Structure 1
Amino acid sequence: MSDTVIRIAETTAEILALYNPIIGTINLIVREVRDIYKNAESNKEICLIMYNRVDSAEHAMNTLMRNIEGSEDEEIFENFRKKEYYLAFERFKNLLTNIKEYTNKVSKFDRYKQIINATEVKNKYQKLTKEYDVCIKDLQFTMIMSSEAARVKEAKKVDKAIENTEEALKKLDNTDQKLDMIAKNIDFLIKERSLDTQVKKIDPSELYEPPYKDTNFRKNVFKKIYKGEHDEHEVACKPIDSQNLGTQLTILKKLKSKYILQFYGLSYADTSEVMVSEWAEKGTLKELYHKHDIPWTRKIQIIRDICRGIVFLRRVNIFHHDLRCENVFLSLI
């Protein structure tokens, strides 16, 4: 039987020269899978399972290679001299490439939707994990071979992750449809240009003074109570000349997001034309910084909400062009 074994290397130097390129590629793939897991938007649990598997295999592989260097134990070298073992390493490298591609695809909502359905996601996961177990056995990485109980536990986590992602995608699909409609309306409005009549006109009688007047003014902006169709709102009234703002105001009326101040329409107050929009009780971000010591946890939330507002605008093909602390408004500290 030993006569049929094809030997491809003899000395330690030959072995290292032969295997190091493959090992370098495997180490790179593992780092890429780790980064994919860290930045995953969806199926975080599946990405973690895949990362744990490739990370464990990398650790076993690197430990094995360290044992070769400087060792005089012939048994350690024997497998590395065989062509079959080298080919098993090649298969392992190709498998990790497939795992990386799969993990990358399921980690992002837009890429996940390119996979036909949840069944395909699970089938691909099962195929990759079976191939992984075979490779681990062929390479004799026995210290990381998983038990049947561990595999069952992982499978349940995968099912739960797929279920959560499917639910999230349903919500995203509804949101995408709404955003696509907003974007189409805005594109149409920009092309048409004749927009002044499309801005809602609010009767001045629908605006009245709030009961407390101590914080009702902010530079040239003043607070009113707007009696809307369904309930009352605290609104900011800012004097403007709307003649040259038809396009911007009409577009602003189309934007519906909790991260964008809502624009209600145009009205008159004290003989001045005003734009009526949502009142931000705490003022601008710049004012807030001067008045309060903002904890880091709140700063992170503010940054997150600013980013969400920017993403919303970008999804409907709008660029802000003047993003600064004076233009970021807050209702809560």
Structure 2
Amino acid sequence: MSQIKVSGLDITKGTLNAINVTANAITPFGSLISGITVLISEIIQVYDAAQCNKRICNALLDRVQSAEFALNLLKRRKQENEANFRKEKYYHSFLKFELVLQQIKEFAKEVTQLQGFEKIFKANTVSKTFTQLTNDFDEVMKDLNFTMAISSDEQRKIDQESLKEDLDEMKEDILTTNLTQYFEQVSIMNKLILTKANDGTSIINKIQVRKIASNELKDPFPGRKEDLQGVTKKKIFKDYLDVACKPVTLPKEGSQDSPKILLQLAILEKLSNGPSILQFYGLSYIDNNNVMVSEWAEYGSLKEVYEKYDIMWCRKILLALDICRGIGFLQSAEIFHHNIRCENVMITQNLEPKLTNFQYAREITGETSQITNISTIVHWLAPEKMRDHGYTYKCELFSFGMLLWELCYEKIPYENLETKDIMDHVRKGKREKLLIGRGKQSEDKEIQKEFAGIINETWYDEPQMRISISALFLELSKLKAKYVKAGVKLHGKGDKESRRQAWKCFVANADLGNPIAKFWKGYYLSKGYVEDKNLEEAKKLFKEAADYGFAAAQFQYAVTLVDDQEKRMEFLKYLQLSADQGNTDAEYTLGRLYLTGSIVNVDRETGLNYLKLATLNDHKEARELLKNENIDI
């Protein structure tokens, strides 16, 4: 029986011919339409959660809702559209439609959550990406014969106005380097809290903290012992959100603690949707207690994590970067956290760090937080604060440097010293020891040296000499990029030890959601380079990276589906996506399939075009196949 070789896998031609793309054409559209419907719903959710650039997102949403209407019409008139369903070109247009919506979702998610100094690095690409996405969307709507709700010319005018207004706002934010909107909101809340309500109504109602009905919070099923973290209980909100319910004592109006607690609630309400901030949903009443309802952190605090696990050095880079992002966001909102340490960083199910505990937080113009027990924070406190000088962002940077030390060495700074001894030590210009050498791999030592340099930049006794938050963010970003690239470089060496070190890098970064690292982790599992082969786990990782748009992962995921007759349409989908992004293996494979009529109908012209593309990118097998066809390029 003749066979076709697909990047090292032999595929029986008889098996490949088992399904014809044009037969029973309506069936494969079912899963596609379902997937697109979910994507549309997710885009709407992104819009609802938008923090900025909402006009840009709204212009995209106009298109998405037009698509939703057209899709519903298509489903109702399935039989009338059967002719289109039987066209292979129509199917490919649907695949492109799904891809464009996925790209719109990712773009909207990113552009609506840009904060502070991150806008500096993103503003220049927003316009270009927005224009490309709208062009792609309009083109595929036309290919599918979907009708837009308003004319293209009118929509283009709306697009340009929306884009200009949001970009103008981004430029203003870049110039002022702060989020004036957030500052004004929190400032108003602070003044409201400190002013007695004239109409006698509750001040808590005045600050408009969301009230969540107790029947909206359900117990998880089945329950686990991990669903209780101290006094904090896990509940399910809106039937799908894992939330934490922590008892809180709401003060009586006029009490001494009232302004402090209400200010904390106001800050949580206005800032918790920011990057790397634990999301606050509102207040509720369950089990005879008032509770604060916030995002559930599966692994508890970062302190609890390092006490239970030895955190890999490459993972520490990403944790540090995300925490820095959260602190940068607070600075752009002109808020002092006032208590930065690992115990006040929660770790979610996805291993994302989130800043929490705003007990001492205040706006920069607010009154200094009164800390009754300094021994709880002195390990992270800046020397100028120990000298009773004012509290500034430079104090926050010093504390972040102490947090980085704590994360690196996985213990509390100065843990064996008394409060007075710590203060004397720090005020004399002395700091914790930065020891290099803890770790098994040479790369670990390199990361330690990088961390030591960054920490030292935050530890200067003179506040003005300390690194800025934006420069610190850039340093950590470079360290992240360097280490992920180091894993790929180690893989390229090919020897057993290098691959073992590369594997550690890929695992750590994949666990933190890096799509490139997910691909490489899956690739190692598929080959059994370091650990035993695990094709199912590799397939799962390839799929996750593929859906992020990574071409190599799209091809590898397609390869995992090649023997699954029920998923031939999915095989073609991801192979096509990969080839369209220029993956030479995918171009070669797709070209050969079209040339031989395996899975798809014979289309010699299309097949030869894909083979030519692969050959132009130095794919040897594609070149040989073209030679057999008497084509020399």
TM-score interval, smaller chain: 0.5 to 0.7
Counterpart AA for 2:92: L
Alignment partners' CA distance in 2, 1:171 and 1:261: 22
Aligned twin of 2:51: 41
Q: 1:153 aligns with which of 152, 158, 172?
A: 158
Aligned twin of 2:104: 99
1:146 CA displacement: 3.1
1:149 CA displacement: 3.1
Query: Are 1:59 and 2:83 an aligned pair?
Result: no
Q: 2:168 aligns with which of 163, 169, 178?
A: 163
1:170 CA displacement: 3.7
Q: Pairwise mapping of residues 43-192 of structure 1 onto structure 2 (< 5 A)?
A: 43-68=53-78, 71=79, 73=80, 76-110=81-115, 113=118, 116-144=121-149, 146-173=151-178
Aligned twin of 2:21: 8
Aligned twin of 2:31: 21
1:56 CA displacement: 1.1
Corresponding pairs, count: 209
Q: Indicate if the aligned counterparts of 2:43 and 2:108 stay in contact, CA closer than 8 A.
A: yes
Query: Are 1:314 and 2:346 an aligned pair?
Result: no
Q: Indicate if the aligned counterparts of 1:259 and 1:306 stay in contact, CA closer than 8 A.
A: no
Q: Indicate if the aligned counterparts of 1:259 and 1:305 stay in contact, CA closer than 8 A.
A: no
Distance verdict in 2 for CA 1:65–1:31, change over 3 Å: same
1:113 CA displacement: 2.2
SS class of match (2:208): helix
1:90-112 residue CA offsets vs partner (Å, 9 max, x unmatched): 00100111111111111012399
Distance verdict in 2 for CA 1:164–1:305, change over 3 Å: farther
1:132 CA displacement: 0.7
1:63-99 residue CA offsets vs partner (Å, 9 max, x unmatched): 112111xx4x4xx211110111101000010011111
Aligned twin of 1:218: none
SS class of match (1:300): coil
SS class of match (1:142): coil
Q: Percent identity?
A: 25
Alignment partners' CA distance in 2, 1:40 and 1:320: 23
Alignment partners' CA distance in 2, 1:107 and 1:82: 37
1:26-66 residue CA offsets vs partner (Å, 9 max, x unmatched): 11111111111111111010111111211211220121121
Aligned twin of 2:201: 293
Q: Indicate if the aligned counterparts of 1:106 and 1:112 stay in contact, CA closer than 8 A.
A: no
Query: Scaled by the length of structure 2, what TM-score is found?
Result: 0.29
Distance verdict in 2 for CA 1:147–1:135, change over 3 Å: same
Alignment partners' CA distance in 1, 2:30 and 2:141: 18
Alignment partners' CA distance in 1, 2:82 and 2:44: 31
Distance verdict in 2 for CA 1:159–1:85, change over 3 Å: same
Alignment partners' CA distance in 2, 1:315 and 1:110: 20
Q: Indicate if the aligned counterparts of 1:85 and 1:139 stay in contact, CA closer than 8 A.
A: yes
Distance verdict in 2 for CA 1:163–1:88, change over 3 Å: same
Counterpart AA for 1:28: V
1:309 CA displacement: 3.6
1:295 CA displacement: 8.3
SS class of match (1:41): coil
1:258 CA displacement: 4.8
Distance verdict in 2 for CA 1:108–1:144, change over 3 Å: same
Q: Indicate if the aligned counterparts of 1:136 and 1:145 stay in contact, CA closer than 8 A.
A: no
Alignment partners' CA distance in 2, 1:120 and 1:296: 42
1:144 CA displacement: 4.1
Alignment partners' CA distance in 2, 1:92 and 1:280: 53
Counterpart AA for 2:170: T
Distance verdict in 2 for CA 1:150–1:20, change over 3 Å: same
Alignment partners' CA distance in 1, 2:53 and 2:60: 11
Counterpart AA for 1:119: N
**Larger RCO, structures 1/2 (Cα 8 Å, 6+ apart):** 1
Counterpart AA for 1:100: K
Aligned twin of 2:482: none
Q: Indicate if the aligned counterparts of 1:105 and 1:112 stay in contact, CA closer than 8 A.
A: no
Q: Indicate if the aligned counterparts of 2:190 and 2:263 stay in contact, CA closer than 8 A.
A: no
1:116 CA displacement: 3.1
Unaligned runs of 5+ in 2: 1-19, 181-185, 210-258, 272-334, 345-356, 362-366, 368-633
Q: Indicate if the aligned counterparts of 1:46 and 1:157 stay in contact, CA closer than 8 A.
A: yes
Alignment partners' CA distance in 2, 1:63 and 1:164: 38
Unaligned runs of 5+ in 1: 1-6, 176-256, 263-278, 283-287, 324-328
Alignment partners' CA distance in 2, 1:106 and 1:322: 31
Counterpart AA for 1:133: D
Could you say what the CA RMSD is over the residues aligned between the two structures, in angstroms?
4.1
Counterpart AA for 1:49: A
Counterpart AA for 1:64: L
Counterpart AA for 1:127: Q
Alignment partners' CA distance in 2, 1:308 and 1:169: 26
Q: Indicate if the aligned counterparts of 2:63 and 2:148 stay in contact, CA closer than 8 A.
A: no
Distance verdict in 2 for CA 1:53–1:112, change over 3 Å: farther
Counterpart AA for 1:300: Q
